[in-house]
Amino acid sequence: MNLTILYFASLRESLGMAKEAVVLPGDVDSVGALRQHLSARGDAWQRLAPGHNVRAAVNQQMAADEHALAAGDEVAFFPPVTGG
């Protein structure tokens, strides 16, 4: 499955990229599975592991870890935002 992944704010800085295109194995079929797959890269990627405070959106709609992915989706990851 082909996806586009976007990284925002401090994630973009710590991962050293704002965007990537990936081809995923067949068992990576949800946001949570994608987070697990990416976090297996190690080091800074561990910030994306399930259970860490990172938000996700699929095709510009907020998505939980259970959200199913489809070929061509755009997935965005970003840290929680605080304002004042």
The predicted model scores a pTM of 0.93
Task: Let me know if residue 16 belongs to a domain.
Answer: yes
Q: How far is CA 51 from the centre of its chain?
A: 13
Task: Let me know if residue 71 belongs to a domain.
Answer: yes
Task: Let me know if residue 8 belongs to a domain.
Answer: yes
| Mean pLDDT value across the chain | 94
What CATH number is associated with residue 48? 3.10.20.30
Task: Let me know if residue 47 belongs to a domain.
Answer: yes
Integer Cα distance of 69 and 16 in angstroms: 24
User: How many domains, in total, are found in the chain?
Assistant: 1
Domain that holds residue 9: 2-78
- Max Cα separation, the chain? 42
For 36, 48, 55, 60, 84, the CA distances from 14, given in Å and listed in that order, are: 17, 11, 16, 22, 24
Query: Could you give the angle at the alpha carbon of 48 between the alpha carbons of 61 and 67, nearest 5°?
Result: 35
User: What percent of the chain lies above the pLDDT cut of 70?
Assistant: 96
